[in-house]
């Protein structure tokens, strides 16, 4: 929970704060400029070093750093970070103090035909969403109180990014203008998320998402980011190579476009012109070998090195970040998962290391992983317990961050709060959520559909069956066949008939081991499990919810 509660949590329906009638200053002005320049310099220094390296899609010239093994972090005195809250963000946000978060990114379920809001396929969540958001107006009314809360918790120097698509972006913008103030709207970012050709015969395919970027005042953090120049540009504009160093350069114009500059009009290397620089600066550059005269009498030019250029500033069209590919390491199978590169860019641009990043609709936790990788503090909220478990597993697996209360208190690790995970609560959650919970708790992969896949609710791919070396030519995909089925029943007493039907599944699939999860088992069921093993050599491992909650299952899973 946040450390300090606002003395009086403000009602989400309170009026938005009055905004300055003047348009915001550009980031280059005032103190914001100084802060921004410091950070931008840091970014561009990195840029200069890396500018000629070939860029991967979405690669940015920014100081991204790799996952580090759970370093101890400076914590905020205002609220707890490295926490995932399970629950409706409207309720959770009411506990956050005013002006406590530096950067907010949200990617809420859309009011669109796409299955954005679906967690792994056809679920009840989808139907619930469809009922709830029957119209755009209802969607906006669902989002408005949440965005009011988010505006309240955002610092005056903070930034807010709302990710949506063309179905609702214009309605969302009107709502956000009312909440943040139209003057605090910065940029409509267009992210090309696919190259799909669908509908190309009847219209232009809608292949982009919209990300609306607002600030909460005029002194927001903004680190200018750069992309490397593309190869064609380099070949065309930096064709000269310095033989001694191999550095690429272009010869840049030194004459001044303003002809009326008497103090800059003088003769240099025998040529009289209106120059850009003072005579002293020209002489100094000449001494350093930075001014080139191709032949006597030719107009001198300046050597501009490619490796000293920052690159191309990132603008509002983001077409260099591809969606997550089917075989990408990043992919978790969550249909609305966004690429890490997208979140890296937002976090790098609008926060500095140690700042607090909040994602209040965090799905499988992309923003949290990006924030962790980039050395930011983070807080996630999601209403789906399954999503919370998935993102917790992701933080553990991808970032090596321990999920541990004691370590979290010591400034390491993270915690998940308010999961409905007690035996009583697990009895009450919808069957599909229960199945997901059980399969994920066992380290398995749940089915993508709500209907069990021919009696199998999930599969475990044991680590020992993974190929030892990647790229092994023979039997490279053999491990795909080494899996164990999981059967889940949200039942108090699993009986003999349930075991009989799981035995049929194991025989049909020719599996040597399978897992059964339930609250308890009848003695008939346990006797049959033993008999099945004696008859067939196939082991059914009966696990109870209590054992899983008490984390007593490691030996049985081995
Ligand atoms: C589009 S997904 C976010 C995907 C995320 N950006 C990612 O990369 O994984 C939207 C998420 O919002 C969650 N959600 C929907 N309504 C919510 C609410 N009222 N409070 C918190 N989370 C909510 C859903 O459970 C879903 O996981």
pLDDT attached to residue 421? 75
Domains and CATH numbers, the chain: 30-226+313-417 (3.40.50.150), 230-308 (no CATH), 423-557 (3.40.1340)
Residue appearing with tokens 């050709």: 197
What is the distance between the alpha carbons of residues 132 and 531, in angstroms, rounded to a whole number?
50
Residue nearest to atom 22 of ligand 1 (CA): 382
What is the distance between the alpha carbons of residues 215 and 101, in angstroms, rounded to a whole number?
12
Q: How far is the CA of 104 from the centre of ligand 1 (A)?
A: 14
pLDDT of residue 78 exceeding 60: yes
What is the distance between the alpha carbons of residues 293 and 270, in angstroms, rounded to a whole number?
10
Provide the mean pLDDT of the chain: 79
Averaged pLDDT for residues 524-541: 96
Q: How far is the CA of 359 from the centre of ligand 1 (A)?
A: 9
Q: How far is the CA of 59 from the centre of ligand 1 (A)?
A: 26
Give the model confidence (pLDDT) of 375-406 as tens digits: 999 999 998 777 888 899 899 999 999 999 99
Give the model confidence (pLDDT) of 401-432 as tens digits: 999 999 999 988 999 998 877 888 899 888 88
For residue 460, give Cα distances in angstroms to 234, 311, 466, 514, 544: 49, 46, 12, 9, 17
Any atom of ligand 1 within 6 Å of the Cβ of 336:
yes
Any atom of ligand 1 within 6 Å of the Cβ of 381:
yes
Any atom of ligand 1 within 6 Å of the Cβ of 88:
yes
Q: How far is the CA of 161 from the centre of ligand 1 (A)?
A: 14
Backbone angles phi, psi at 33, to 5 degrees: -65, -45
More confident call, 192 vs 335: 192
Q: How far is the CA of 12 from the centre of ligand 1 (A)?
A: 20
pLDDT attached to residue 19? 32
Q: Which atom of ligand 1 is nearest to the CA of 391?
A: 9
Any atom of ligand 1 within 6 Å of the Cβ of 83:
no
What is the distance between the alpha carbons of residues 176 and 159, in angstroms, rounded to a whole number?
13
Confidence grade of residue 453 (pLDDT, cut at 50, 70, 90): low
Q: How far is the CA of 106 from the centre of ligand 1 (A)?
A: 8
Backbone angles phi, psi at 178, to 5 degrees: -70, -35
pLDDT of residue 75 exceeding 80: no
Any atom of ligand 1 within 6 Å of the Cβ of 89:
yes
Q: How far is the CA of 334 from the centre of ligand 1 (A)?
A: 11
Most informative mutation of 90, 108, 337 for ligand 1 (most atoms within 8 A of CB): 108
What is the distance between the alpha carbons of residues 259 and 172, in angstroms, rounded to a whole number?
49
Averaged pLDDT for residues 184-210: 87
pLDDT of residue 60 exceeding 70: no
pLDDT of residue 117 exceeding 60: no
Give the model confidence (pLDDT) of 88-104 as tens digits: 899 999 999 999 999 99
Any atom of ligand 1 within 6 Å of the Cβ of 323:
no
The radius of gyration of the chain from alpha carbons, rounded to an integer in Å, stands at: 29
Give percent above pLDDT 70 in the chain: 75
Averaged pLDDT for residues 44-58: 33
More confident call, 437 vs 381: 381
Any atom of ligand 1 within 6 Å of the Cβ of 382:
yes
pLDDT of residue 1 exceeding 60: no
Q: Which atom of ligand 1 is nearest to the CA of 110?
A: 1
Any atom of ligand 1 within 6 Å of the Cβ of 383:
yes
What is the distance between the alpha carbons of residues 531 and 534, in angstroms, rounded to a whole number?
5
Here the tokens at position 25 are 């200053």
pLDDT attached to residue 476? 36
Any atom of ligand 1 within 6 Å of the Cβ of 28:
no
Q: How far is the CA of 487 from the centre of ligand 1 (A)?
A: 27
Give percent above pLDDT 90 in the chain: 54
More confident call, 79 vs 549: 79
More confident call, 206 vs 130: 206
Here the tokens at position 284 are 């100094």
pLDDT of residue 37 exceeding 70: no
For the ranges 37-41, 230-234, 493-497, the lowest mean pLDDT is seen at: 37-41
More confident call, 27 vs 456: 456
Q: Could you give the angle at which helices 366-373 and 340-350 cross, rounded to 10 degrees?
A: 60
Q: How far is the CA of 187 from the centre of ligand 1 (A)?
A: 23
Letter string b/e over residues 114-149, b meaning 16 or more CB atoms within 10 A of that residue's CB: ebbbbbbbebebbeebeeebeeeeebbebbbbbbbb
Averaged pLDDT for residues 514-540: 96
CB atoms within 10 A of CB 327: 6
pLDDT attached to residue 406? 93
pLDDT attached to residue 463? 53
pLDDT attached to residue 343? 98
Residue 54 near residue 34 (C-beta atoms within 8 A): no
Any atom of ligand 1 within 6 Å of the Cβ of 405:
no
pTM of the entire predicted model: 0.67
pLDDT attached to residue 58? 46
More confident call, 291 vs 333: 291
pLDDT of residue 318 exceeding 90: yes
Chain centre distance of CA 438:
26
pLDDT attached to residue 551? 56
Tell how strand 377-382 and strand 539-544 pair up: unpaired
Q: Which atom of ligand 1 is nearest to the CA of 332?
A: 9
Any atom of ligand 1 within 6 Å of the Cβ of 364:
yes
Most informative mutation of 382, 418, 419, 420 for ligand 1 (most atoms within 8 A of CB): 382
Most informative mutation of 148, 379, 383 for ligand 1 (most atoms within 8 A of CB): 383
Residue nearest to atom 4 of ligand 1 (CA): 363
Residue nearest to atom 12 of ligand 1 (CA): 361
The number of CA neighbours under 13 Å toward the Cβ of 473 is 0
pLDDT of residue 553 exceeding 60: no
């Amino acid at each position: 929970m946040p450390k300090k509660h606002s003395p009086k949590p403000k009602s989400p329906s309170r009026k938005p704060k009055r905004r300055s009638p003047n348009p915001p200053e550009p980031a280059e002005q005032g103190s914001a400029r100084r802060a921004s320049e410091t950070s931008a310099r840091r970014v561009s220094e990195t840029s200069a070093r890396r500018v000629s390296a070939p860029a991967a899609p979405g690669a940015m010239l920014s100081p991204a750093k790799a996952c580090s093994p759970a370093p101890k972090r400076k914590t905020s005195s205002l609220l707890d970070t490295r926490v995932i809250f399970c629950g409706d963000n409207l309720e959770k946000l009411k506990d956050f103090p005013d002006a406590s978060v530096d950067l907010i990114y949200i990617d809420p379920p859309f009011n669109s035909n796409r299955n954005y809001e679906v967690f792994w396929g056809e679920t009840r969540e989808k139907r619930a969403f469809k009922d709830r958001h029957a119209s755009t107006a209802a969607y906006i009314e669902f989002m408005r109180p949440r965005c009011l809360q988010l505006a309240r918790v955002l610092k005056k120097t903070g930034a807010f990014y709302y990710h949506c698509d063309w179905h609702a972006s214009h309605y969302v913008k009107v709502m956000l203008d009312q909440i943040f103030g139209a003057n605090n709207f910065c940029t409509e970012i267009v992210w090309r998320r696919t190259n799909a050709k669908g509908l190309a015969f009847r219209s232009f395919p809608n292949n982009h998402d919209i990300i609306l970027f607002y600030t909460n005042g005029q002194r927001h953090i903004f680190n200018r980011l750069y992309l490397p120049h593309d190869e064609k540009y380099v070949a065309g504009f930096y064709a000269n190579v310095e033989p001694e160093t191999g550095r690429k350069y272009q010869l840049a114009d030194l004459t001044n476009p303003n002809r009326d500059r008497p103090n800059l009009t003088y003769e240099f290397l025998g040529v009289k012109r209106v120059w850009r620089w003072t005579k002293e600066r020209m002489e100094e550059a000449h001494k350093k070998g930075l001014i080139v005269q191709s032949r006597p009498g030719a107009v001198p030019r300046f050597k501009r090195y490619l490796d000293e250029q920052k690159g191309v500033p990132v603008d509002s069209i983001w077409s260099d970040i591809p969606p997550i590919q089917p075989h990408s390491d990043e992919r978790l199978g969550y249909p609305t998962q966004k690429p890490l590169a997208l979140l890296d860019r937002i976090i790098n641009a609008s926060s500095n290391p140690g700042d607090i990043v909040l994602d209040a609709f965090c799905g499988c936790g992309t923003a949290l992983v990006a924030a962790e990788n980039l050395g930011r503090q983070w807080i996630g909220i999601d209403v789906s317990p399954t999503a919370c478990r998935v993102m917790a597993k992701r933080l553990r697996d991808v970032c090596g961050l321990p999920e541990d209360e004691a370590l979290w208190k010591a400034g390491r690790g993270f915690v998940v709060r308010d999961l409905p995970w007690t035996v009583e609560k697990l009895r009450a959650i919808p069957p599909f959520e229960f199945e997901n919970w059980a399969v994920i708790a066992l380290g398995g992969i749940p089915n993508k559909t709500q209907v069990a896949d021919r009696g199998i609710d999930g599969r475990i791919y044991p680590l020992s069956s993974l190929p030892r070396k990647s790229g092994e030519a023979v039997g490279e995909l053999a491990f795909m066949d080494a899996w164990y089925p999981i059967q889940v029943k949200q039942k108090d007493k699993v009986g003999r008939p349930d075991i009989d039907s799981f035995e049929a599944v194991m025989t049909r699939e020719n599996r040597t081991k399978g897992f059964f999860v339930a609250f308890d088992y009848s003695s008939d069921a346990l006797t049959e499990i033993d008999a099945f093993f004696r008859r067939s050599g196939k082991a059914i491992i009966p696990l109870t919810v209590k054992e899983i909650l008490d984390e007593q299952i490691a030996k049985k899973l081995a």
